[in-house]
Structure 1
């Protein structure tokens, strides 16, 4: 599954805590744009809570609901009672590029398999409920060459296409390198050709993801 051009991702690390049947559950959620970064985050949380009974985890790298790059671990809890329900909660959380660790300090009361599934599912849902998010936008890099007479109109049209000027070069004509969302490339090209009466030169240097 290819990456979607835009989706919600965690804006920063976020942590919530709750007590269930005398066990302390600490849920830590973080951005995970790559599998390597997801695993590094998990390792950091394990180092932070080395005395915990369990540091169960799950991650989804890619758009919300995608399973191509996903992982999970029960970390010593009965098989299927932590990692799987955590991953399921992530997949239904409408957030991509996300990793979560639920740290458990056992309080002496056994929850049973059903209780553990509910606990770990609820921890992830609680962690996502007030998670600060931002938008991941795949961007294309374009090269554009226009006549001097079109520069003012060209600059006025950039904000409507969320285009960002990376560089500009003045010679016989004016050359630009731009970044803009991949979903805007076609409409931008149409507007550019309309503006310049078909005289602009445009090349996609990097189509983005």
Structure 2
């Protein structure tokens, strides 16, 4: 399992373009799961019931996790809509992202090549406007230590940007901290080294 952070959308994006009298409306939505992606697609289909096509693609997890990809041509010729949409999404490096492209046809046929170019192009333009944030993959650790070691632990926590989410001050100090998964080994080693192995570190599942 890859524990490194990745980009996700911070807000929805809407992009509209007219190509040969057909209006293409592109929605980009943050969808953290396949179910969320399917729900978002259905909502947009309901909003644009009168459109001939609501084509879509999604990357509903980490950007590189192809097990959570999906796409549909929604009545357009096979391979002309869903695949070009997904190609733009999977190449963007952004995860948890769904694109729905609604097409209101203007009566001029675009041909298969024209459709591929149109669907891929409008998603590409929408992605240029997309605002993203970094999603960090975190886990929780339990630390048990004597009061005298608090300054040492605080400095290690600050360095690794670990956040205290729970604490218990009784005979000894027990802290529950949240930290990025890919920092756990280094954080644990630094804690042991700086405390002379006097801090007990355990992972909370």
Could you say which TM-score interval applies, normalised by the shorter chain? over 0.9
- After TM superposition, the structure 1 stretch with the greater mean CA deviation from structure 2, 158-167 or 103-112, is 158-167
Counterpart in 2 of 1:172?
171
Q: Which runs of 4+ in 1 moved over 6 A?
A: none
Q: Distance in 2 between matches of 1:3 and 1:53?
A: 40
Contact 1:64/1:95 (8 A) holds in 2: yes
Contact 1:146/1:196 (8 A) holds in 2: no
- Listed as ranges, the matches of 1:1-209 within 5 Å are 2-206=1-205
Q: Distance in 1 between matches of 2:126 and 2:202?
A: 43
Cα-Cα RMSD: 1.2
Tell me the TM-score normalized by structure 2: 0.96
Provide structure 2 residue ranges, at least 5 long, that are not aligned to the other structure: none
- After TM superposition, the structure 1 stretch with the greater mean CA deviation from structure 2, 154-163 or 165-174, is 154-163
Residue 3 (structure 1) shift: 4.5
Q: Distance in 1 between matches of 2:57 and 2:3?
A: 21
For residue 108 of structure 1, give the secondary structure of its aligned residue in structure 2.
coil
Provide structure 1 residue ranges, at least 5 long, that are not aligned to the other structure: none
For residue 42 of structure 1, give the secondary structure of its aligned residue in structure 2.
helix
Residue 127 (structure 1) shift: 1.4
For residue 52 of structure 1, give the secondary structure of its aligned residue in structure 2.
coil
Q: Distance in 2 between matches of 1:22 and 1:143?
A: 61
Residue 136 (structure 1) shift: 1.3
